[in-house]
Amino acid sequence: MASKNYNVVAFKVVLHCICLAVANSSDLSYPAVFNFGDSNSDTGDLAAGLGFQLIQPYGQSYFNASSTGRFCNGRLIVDFLMDAMHMPFLNAYMDSIGLPNFQKGCNFAAAGSTILAATAASLCPFSFGIQVSQFIRFKARVLELLAAGQKYKKYVPAEDYFNKGLYMLDIGQNDLAGAFYSKTLDQVLASIPNILLEFETGIKKLYDQGARNFWIHNTGPLGCLAQNIAKFGVDSSKLDEQGCVSSHNQAAKTFNLQLQALCTKLHGQYPDANVTYVDIFTIKSNLISNYSNYGFQQPIMVCCGYGGPPLNYDERVTCGSTKSLNGTIVTAKSCNDSSVYVSWDGTHYTEAANQYVASQILTGKYSYPSFSGKMLIPSLAQVTTTESQSM
């Protein structure tokens, strides 16, 4: 019990330090944030767009409700980043309930989205190209409202926010993960250039709309998600030393190398833009490899699932649902303490894991070009060591 309380204190110290550093840093001082992505940063877009509600235990740890549309027990990485920058959580573009305010930005990310255009078989129709189109419409409508009078200013971004704001992008995971259901590893690898060509097209459109500050997150270790292990890791020879599916992680690494090369290209192509490549893969891989150093006990096993160890994941009974299996009614319930789990539902991370990832992003050490020399934010490991020595 003391260990659990200690971990909570350590996390709070980290976030306090992050907030202080960001507040005093001009490098991360943006008037607004515009976010594009998938379920890793969806704050309710897909739920609002398709008209469904995530049932509890989604949202239970922070929002105490499932109506936020986040695929997590609490806050996402984007929420912690916004909080660290002293900005309100981003409203989803398509969520019109609850007097949404877009003065500080807008979130176009939608769960299940891909970089490539959606097809009839896609889980989500709001691909990256659609999200960019939604942004263009959003900006045009904002400018119309601003021209109409002063009364809208407190609800929408100022005109110059579109040029001065931060554009965060975290998408591509579903392009890779979904491809493995119908393609070999070689075919998935061969598809990456086309995926990134579509991504580059979207970036150019945003640039043409005035975007100049980009944070581009790479994709995480897909092979370490319980959903992929359950489907593609039945043969233990397909797993690496961490118990992750090797092929999926190889695809993620290849995608990331080519994405980083694209970011370097964008640097040269748009000299007046700031393009920051953020290495999410390394942050998450380090968390999974050294989970116990950061207060976690389960790096892969699912918190909210069904089936018990080692994965506690069954694709037939997703988090929060109740189904009949072989004549028995079963429910995929949440674990007792989500703060010691990395994986929430087999596809998404817990709030605690998201908090750790956000703290590492904001050190600047995993960004290229790096801003670590400009921000004095201690890593979680440093805080843990300091706290340990003082106790």
Active site residues: 39, 345, 348
Q: Check: CB of residue 108 under 8 Å from CB of residue 95.
A: no
Structure token pair of residue 391? 């106790």
Sign of the CA dihedral with 9 first, then 54, 285, and 374 last: negative
φ, ψ of residue 299 to 5 degrees: the values are: -80, -25
Name the pairing type of β-strands 322-325 and 213-217.
Answer: unpaired
Strand partners, 13: none
Q: Residue 350 burial (CB < 10 Å; 0-12/13-18/19+)?
A: buried
Measured CA distances, 295 to 3, 6, 288, 378 (Å): 8, 9, 11, 16
Distance CA 388, CA 391 (A): 5
Q: How far is CA 49 from CA 100, 186, 389, in A?
A: 15, 35, 50
- Using DSSP bridges, classify how beta strands 166-170 and 328-331 pair: parallel, antiparallel or unpaired: unpaired
For residues 68 and 43, is the Cβ–Cβ distance under 8 A? yes
Q: What is the DSSP letter of 150?
A: G
Quote the tokens at residue 319.
């988090």
Contact 30, 164 (CB under 8 A): yes
